[in-house]
Amino acid sequence: MPDIHLVTQQELMRQAPYEEQVRAYYRLRQKTPKACIHTFGCQQNVSDSEHIKGLLAQIGYVFTDRDEQADLILFNTCAVREHAEDRVFGNVGALKAIKRRRPSVLIAVCGCMAQQKGVAERLHAHFPFVGLVFGTHVLYRLPELLAKALQSRAPVYETPESDGVIAEDIPVVRDAGCKAWLPIMYGCNNFCTYCIVPYVRGRERSRDPQRVLQEARELVQQGYRDITLLGQNVNSYGNAEGYGVRFPQLLEEICRIPGDFIVRFMTSHPKDATEELFDTIARCSKVSRHCHLPFQSGSDRILKRMNRGYTREDYLRLIRYARQTVPGITFTSDVIVGFPGETEEDFEQTLDLVRQVGFASLYTFLFSPRPGTPAAQMEDPTSAEEKSARFQRLLRVQEEISQQQLAQMVGQQRTVLIEGRSGDYLEGRLPENKIVRLNGEDALIGKQAVVRITSAGNYLLAGEICEILS
Ligand code: SAM
Ligand code: SF4
Ligand code: F3S
For the chain, give the longest Cα–Cα distance: 67
197 close to ligand 2 (CB < 6 Angstrom): yes
Atom of ligand 2 nearest to the CA of 196: 1
Q: How far apart are CA 135 and CA 109, in angstroms?
A: 9
Assess whether 191 and 258 both reside in one domain.
yes
336 close to ligand 2 (CB < 6 Angstrom): no
Query: Which residue, 407, 425, 454, sits at the end of a domain?
Result: 407
**Contact (Cβ atoms closer than 8 angstroms) between residue 78 and residue 39:** no
Residue 458 confidence (pLDDT): 78
Query: Which residue, 364, 383, 407, sits at the end of a domain?
Result: 407
From residue 318, give the alpha-carbon distance in Å to each of 62, 274, 293, 458.
47, 8, 10, 28
Q: For residue 234, which of 245, 223, 224 has the smallest C-alpha distance?
A: 245
Domain count, the chain: 3
Assess whether 131 and 216 both reside in one domain.
no
Minimum CA distance residue for ligand 1 atom 12? 80
Between the CA of 188 and the centroid of ligand 2 the distance, in Å, is: 6
Assess whether 85 and 97 both reside in one domain.
yes
Between the CA of 303 and the centroid of ligand 3 the distance, in Å, is: 21
Ligand index nearest the alpha carbon of residue 42? 3
Assess whether 315 and 173 both reside in one domain.
yes
Assess whether 389 and 362 both reside in one domain.
yes
Burial letters 350-388, b for 16+ CB under 10 A, else e = bbebbeebebbbbebbbbbebeebbbbeeebebeeeebe
Atom of ligand 2 nearest to the CA of 334: 7
Return the CATH number at 198. 3.80.30.20
Return the CATH number at 54. 3.40.50.12160
Assess whether 140 and 183 both reside in one domain.
no
191 close to ligand 2 (CB < 6 Angstrom): yes
Between the CA of 199 and the centroid of ligand 2 the distance, in Å, is: 10
Assess whether 73 and 189 both reside in one domain.
no
Q: How far apart are CA 22 and CA 44, in angstroms?
A: 27
Assess whether 234 and 258 both reside in one domain.
yes
Ligand index nearest the alpha carbon of residue 88? 3
Residue 264 confidence (pLDDT): 96
Return the CATH number at 449. 2.40.50.140
Which residues are near ligand 3 (CB < 6 Å)? 41-42, 44-45, 78-80, 112, 196-197, 200-201
44 close to ligand 2 (CB < 6 Angstrom): no
Assess whether 194 and 151 both reside in one domain.
no
Assess whether 123 and 42 both reside in one domain.
yes
Residue 427 confidence (pLDDT): 94
DSSP one-letter code for 15: T
Q: How far apart are CA 286 and CA 293, in angstroms?
A: 19
Atom of ligand 2 nearest to the CA of 195: 1
Ligand index nearest the alpha carbon of residue 308? 2
Between the CA of 52 and the centroid of ligand 1 the distance, in Å, is: 24
Assess whether 399 and 286 both reside in one domain.
yes
Q: How far apart are CA 201 and CA 232, in angstroms?
A: 10
Give the DSSP H or E segment for 331: strand 330-337
Assess whether 277 and 423 both reside in one domain.
no
Query: Which residue, 366, 386, 407, sits at the end of a domain?
Result: 407
Q: Which stretches in the chain have pLDDT values below 70?
A: 1-3
Domain assignment of residue 244, given as a range: 168-407
Q: How far apart are CA 467 and CA 262, in angstroms?
A: 19
192 close to ligand 2 (CB < 6 Angstrom): yes
